[in-house]
Amino acid sequence: MSIIIRNGTVVNADQTFSADIYCEEGKIVAIGTDLDVPADAETIDATGQYIMPGGIDPHTHMQLPFMGTVASDDFYTGTAAGLAGGNTTIIDFVIPAPQESLLDAYKKWREWAEKSASDYSFHVAITWWDDSVAADMETLVKEYGVNSFKHFMAYKNAIMANDETLVKSFRRCMELGAIPTVHAENGELVFQLQQELLNKGITGPEAHPLSRPPVVEGEAANRAIQIAQVMDVPIYIVHVSCKESLEAITRARSEGQRVYGECLAGHLAIDDSVYRNESFEFAAAHVMSPPFRSTEHQNALWKGLQGGNLHTTATDHCSFCAGQKAAGKDDFTKIPNGTAGVEDRMAVLWHEGVNSGKLTMNEFVAVTSTNAAKIFNIYPQKGAIAVGADADIVVWDPAGSRTISAKTHHQNVDFNIFEGKTVNGIPTHTISRGKVVWANGQLNVEPGSGRYINRPAFNPVFEALAKQAEHHAPVAVKRK
C-alpha cells in the first residue's frame, strides 16, 4: 500500500517547506516535488493544508485501575480517539501495585494494550523498592525497550514513592541509561491538607485544589530535581501546572542541569473556577491531579513553552464517567482523579497557541511531537517528516473548525472538559504507519493495528555522566 500527499506545506520542528510526501510500507520513502510514484498510489490532496509529524501524547492512562475503579477508555477506544485528534503514538504507564513484580505488571499492561489502534509505548512506575525492582528495571531497559521510569511523589498509602525510593531508583536509572520522570506533589502535605479540609466539613470538589496548592507541587518538583542533580541523572517532570514548579525547572536548567518539563492542554486552557461550579457533577468531572490553576499560572505555562523551559504537551488522559466520579459525592478525596483529552490536545493547542501567536507552527510541532520523540529516544523514527521515518503523519487544515463535545467525541467518556469550545484548525487526515486511519471525519481503524514501540536506553549521555561522577569520586583520607 502506498500513499502520495500532494500540494501541502510540510511543517517540521525545524523548518517549513512545500513538498509532496510519498509513503510505502509504513515508511516515508520520498519527499520532493514531481515525485514519480506508482499509478495506484492513494492520493491525498493537501492544498492549503499543513503536513506534520503525527502527535505523540507522552502521558496517557488507558484502562488504568485507579482509586477503586478503572479508567473508561481502554487501549482501543483511547487510541482510536487519539488518532481522530491527530495522535499517532501514545506513551502510557505501567503502574505496579506496591510489592507487585515490575515484570508481571509490565506483561499485564502489554496484554491490555494489544488492542491499541495506534502505536504505543510504556513508562514503568517505581512504586516500591527492593533488589528485585532494581533487577527488573535492568531487564525492562535491556530486553523490553523501556527507557523511562515514573515516580509518583503523591498518593500516600498507595503508589507514592518516598525519598529512599526516589534516590535509589534515580541512581539505577543513571546506571541503565534511563530517564526518571516524576509526578511532583508532596504526598504527605496533600494527605494532611485533605484531612484538615474534611474535618472542617469541606467535603465537596471545591476542596480538591485547596488540598493541592501550587507550593505543594513546587516543593516536590524542586526536591526531585535536586535529588536528580545529586544522582547525576537527567529528569522529566510530568504535568507541570504552576509557576512554582516551572521556576524550579528554569533555575536548574540555567545551572546546566538536564531537566525537561511537560504541561497539559487542560492546564493551559482551563482555570480553577471549575471547582467552584454549583453542579457536583461538573466540578467532580474536573478533579484531576495536579488541579486546574488560576490564570496567573496558566500564563506562566505558556511562557514556559515559549521560552523553552517546558518541552512537551500531553493530556494525562485518564477518563472517568459521572457514575465513577459519584464515588466521591460525600468525600472529595474519593473522586477518581482524572480527565480526558487525548482527542483534543492538538486542536486545543493549535487554537490557543498558534492562532493567538503564542506558538509558531514549528514550535507547535516541537511540543506536540518532536520533543517527546527526542526525550524518550524514538526520534527520528517518530516526530519528524523525514525519509526513513515511520509514515505517522497528520494533515492539518488551519481553516477547518470543530466544536468540541462529549456528544460527538470518540473518547469513551460522558464528559468533555473542553465542551462547547470551537477550535479553528483540525486534522483532516491521520496516517498511522502508512495507513489512512482518519479522513474527513471518519475513523478507519481496528483493534490491534497499533504496534509496541521499543525505546532504547540513552547510553551516550549516561556514560558521559557516569564518567563525570567517577571523576568527582570521593577519596578517603589515609590516616595513621
Q: In the β-sheet with 87-94, what is the strand arrangement from edge to edge?
A: 55-60, 87-94, 119-125, 148-152, 179-183, 235-237, 259-264, 312-314
Using CB atoms within 10 A of its CB, is residue 59 exposed (0-12), middle (13-18) or buried (19+)? buried
For ligand DUC, the closer of residues 90 and 361 by Cβ is 90
Out of 316, 344, 352, 414, the only residue in the binding site for ligand DUC (CB under 6 A) is: 316
Instruction: Check: CB of residue 457 under 8 Å from CB of residue 177.
Output: yes
Q: How far is the CB of 43 from ligand DUC (least distance, A)?
A: 42
Residues 60-89 that bind ligand DUC (CB under 6 A): 61, 66
93 three-state secondary structure: strand
Helices (H), 315-370: 322-325, 345-349, 361-365
293 binds ligand DUC (CB under 6 A): no
Contacts with Zn ion, 310-349, as mask; x by CB under 5 A: ------x---------------------------------
For Zn ion, the closer of residues 402 and 455 by Cβ is 455
Q: How far is the CB of 289 from Zn ion (least distance, A)?
A: 6
Considering CB under 6 A, how many residues would be counted as binding ligand DUC?
A: 9
* Residue 337's binding partner out of ligand DUC, Zn ion, none, with CB under 5 to 8 Å set by partner kind: ligand DUC
Q: How far is the CB of 267 from Zn ion (least distance, A)?
A: 12
Q: How far is the CB of 368 from Zn ion (least distance, A)?
A: 18
Instruction: Check: CB of residue 233 under 8 Å from CB of residue 170.
Output: yes
What sign does the dihedral 303-305-309-315 (CA atoms) show? positive
For ligand DUC, the closer of residues 66 and 438 by Cβ is 66
Instruction: For residue 193, give the amino acid letter.
Output: L
What sign does the dihedral 314-375-445-48 (CA atoms) show? positive
Q: Which three cell numbers stand for residue 87?
A: 495522535
Considering CB under 5 A, how many residues would be counted as binding Zn ion?
A: 2
For Zn ion, the closer of residues 151 and 402 by Cβ is 151
Instruction: Check: CB of residue 270 under 8 Å from CB of residue 345.
Output: no
Q: Which three cell numbers stand for residue 267?
A: 492546564
288 binds ligand DUC (CB under 6 A): yes
Q: How far is the CB of 84 from ligand DUC (least distance, A)?
A: 22
* Residue 317's binding partner out of ligand DUC, Zn ion, none, with CB under 5 to 8 Å set by partner kind: none
Directed axis angle between helix 214-230 and helix 163-176, to 10°?
Answer: 50
* Residue 288's binding partner out of ligand DUC, Zn ion, none, with CB under 5 to 8 Å set by partner kind: ligand DUC
Residues 179-238 that bind ligand DUC (CB under 6 A): 183
For ligand DUC, the closer of residues 12 and 337 by Cβ is 337
Instruction: For residue 450, give the amino acid letter.
Output: G
Q: Which three cell numbers stand for residue 289?
A: 491531579
Q: How far is the CB of 5 from ligand DUC (least distance, A)?
A: 36
Query: Rounded CA gap, 296 and 239, in Å?
Result: 16
Q: How far is the CB of 372 from ligand DUC (least distance, A)?
A: 18
Main-chain dihedrals φ then ψ at residue 9, nearest 5 degrees: -110, 120
For ligand DUC, the closer of residues 342 and 389 by Cβ is 342
Contacts with ligand DUC, 317-346, as mask; x by CB under 6 A: -x------------------xx--------
Query: Rounded CA gap, 295 and 282, in Å?
Result: 20
Instruction: Label residues 112-130 b or e (16+ Cβ within 10 Å = b).
Output: bbebbbbbbbbbbbbbbbe
236 three-state secondary structure: strand
Q: How far is the CB of 14 from Zn ion (least distance, A)?
A: 29
For ligand DUC, the closer of residues 8 and 291 by Cβ is 291
219 binds Zn ion (CB under 5 A): no
Instruction: Check: CB of residue 412 under 8 Å from CB of residue 74.
Output: yes
Binding site for Zn ion (CB under 5 A): 183, 316
Residue ranges in contact with ligand DUC by CB under 6 A:
61, 66, 183, 288-289, 316, 318, 337-338
